[in-house]
C-alpha cells in the first residue's frame, strides 16, 4: 500500500513537472523575449594576440614588465592587486634590488599602527608585502569612483571568459553610442557618469577610458606606447598575476600527453604479446 501510494505521488509530481516544462517551452517558442540592447550590441572580445595564449603559450617577460609599468603608472590609482606581493616580481625578471626600490617608492604605503600611541599610521612597503589598496576601504573607493567599486585585478583574467582578450578589448573599446542603438532602443542611452563600451556586459561602465593618448606611459625599453600597445601589455601583466605558473602548467600538460601516448602504445604492445597465441 505504501509503495503504491509513493508511486502515485511520484507519478503526479512528474506529470505536473512535465506540464510546467511544456508551458515554459511553448511560451518561449510562441512568445519569445523581446531583444535587448545588451543582446544586440554586446561584442565578443577581440584577440589580443599575446604570446601566453594557446596550448604552448609562454610569457614575453619584456611585455609583462611593460604591462607592470602601465599598471603602476595608470591602473594602480584605482585598482588593487591584493593577491600579489612585491617579491613576486622576481618571476618576471626584476632583481632583488629593483624589487626593494619598487616597494619602497610605491606611492601607497602599508597601513600600520603606532605601537606607542595605538594610532593608525603607515609604513614603507617591504618586498614581502602585497600591493596595497589605493583606498582605505570600500566606502572610500566608492566615494572616489561615482559610487562604483573598482575591482581587484589580481585574478581578473581568470574571472572573465577569454580574460586576456576581454581586458584588451575593454581598454580599447570605448566609443560613442552607435546611432542604430539609440534608434532601436531609445531608453538605452548611456546614463550620465557612465561610459559606453560594447565589450562590457551591460554596455555601460563607470570607469572612464584609462588609456587615452599615445605616450601616456614612457616605456623604459623604448617601445612605442600606443593605446593599443599599452592595452596589450597590461593584459599580459594581468594574465601573469592571475596565473603566474602558466608556463609550468603547459609543460606539465604536454609531458602528461606524451606519457599517455607512450603508455597506450606500450599497453597495446603488451596486449598483442599476451594474447598472440589465442588467435590460433
Q: Return the pLDDT at 277.
A: 67
State which H helix or E strand residue 228 sits in.
helix 227-242
Residue 264 lies in a domain: no
Please check whether residue 156 is in contact with residue 220, taking contact to mean a CB–CB distance below 8 angstroms.
Answer: no
Residue 207 lies in a domain: yes
Q: Is 230 marked as binding a ligand?
A: no
Residue 261 lies in a domain: no
- What is the chain's mean pLDDT, rounded? 89
Find the CATH number of the domain harbouring 170.
1.10.760.10
Calpha distance 163→244 (Å, rounded)? 14
- 83: confidence class by pLDDT, cuts 50, 70, 90: very high
Query: What's the CA angle centered on 85, arms 124 and 60, to 5 degrees?
Result: 125
Taking only the tens place, the pLDDT of each residue in 247-270 is 888 888 888 889 899 989 888 888
Q: Is 75 marked as binding a ligand?
A: yes
Please check whether residue 266 is in contact with residue 188, taking contact to mean a CB–CB distance below 8 angstroms.
Answer: no
Q: Is 250 marked as binding a ligand?
A: no
State which H helix or E strand residue 167 sits in.
helix 163-172
Residue 13 lies in a domain: no
Q: Return the pLDDT at 206.
A: 92
Taking only the tens place, the pLDDT of each residue in 101-150 is 999 999 999 888 777 777 788 889 999 999 999 998 999 999 988 889 99
Entry pTM: 0.83
Task: Report percent pLDDT > 70 for the chain.
Answer: 92
Residue 23 lies in a domain: no
Q: Is 161 marked as binding a ligand?
A: no
What number of residues does the chain have? 280
Residue 48 lies in a domain: yes
How many domains does the chain fold into? 1
Taking only the tens place, the pLDDT of each residue in 164-182 is 999 999 999 999 999 999 8
Structural domain range at position 207: 37-84+130-248
Residue 109 lies in a domain: no
Residue 47 lies in a domain: yes
Measured from the Cβ of residue 6, the count of other Cβ atoms closer than 10 Å reads 10
Amino acid at each position: 500500500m505504501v509503495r503504491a501510494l509513493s508511486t502515485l505521488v511520484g507519478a503526479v509530481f512528474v506529470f505536473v513537472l512535465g506540464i510546467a516544462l511544456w508551458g515554459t517551452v511553448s511560451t518561449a517558442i510562441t512568445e519569445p523575449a523581446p531583444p535587448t540592447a545588451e543582446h544586440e550590441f554586446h561584442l565578443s572580445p577581440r584577440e589580443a594576440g599575446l604570446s601566453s595564449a594557446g596550448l604552448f603559450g609562454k610569457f614575453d617577460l619584456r611585455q609583462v614588465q611593460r604591462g607592470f609599468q602601465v599598471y603602476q603608472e595608470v591602473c594602480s590609482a584605482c585598482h588593487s592587486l591584493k593577491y600579489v606581493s612585491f617579491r613576486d616580481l622576481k618571476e618576471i625578471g626584476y632583481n632583488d634590488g629593483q624589487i626593494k626600490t619598487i616597494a619602497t617608492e610605491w606611492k601607497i604605503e602599508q597601513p600600520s599602527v603606532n605601537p606607542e600611541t595605538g594610532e593608525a599610521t603607515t609604513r614603507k612597503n617591504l618586498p614581502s608585502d602585497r600591493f596595497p589598496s589605493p583606498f582605505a576601504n570600500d566606502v572610500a573607493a566608492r566615494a572616489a569612483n561615482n559610487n562604483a567599486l573598482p575591482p581587484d585585478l589580481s585574478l581578473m583574467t581568470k574571472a572573465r571568459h577569454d580574460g586576456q582578450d576581454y581586458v584588451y578589448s575593454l581598454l580599447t573599446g570605448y566609443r560613442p553610442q552607435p546611432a542604430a542603438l539609440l534608434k532601436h532602443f531609445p531608453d538605452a542611452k548611456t546614463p550620465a557618469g557612465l561610459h559606453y563600451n560594447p565589450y562590457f556586459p551591460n554596455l555601460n561602465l563607470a570607469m572612464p577610458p584609462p588609456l587615452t593618448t599615445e605616450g601616456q606611459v614612457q616605456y623604459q625599453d623604448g617601445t612605442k606606447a600606443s593605446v593599443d600597445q599599452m592595452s596589450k601589455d597590461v593584459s599580459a601583466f594581468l594574465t601573469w598575476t592571475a596565473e603566474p605558473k602558466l608556463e609550468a602548467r603547459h609543460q606539465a600538460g604536454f609531458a602528461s600527453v606524451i606519457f599517455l601516448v607512450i603508455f597506450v602504445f606500450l599497453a597495446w604492445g603488451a596486449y598483442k604479446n599476451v594474447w598472440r597465441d589465442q588467435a590460433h
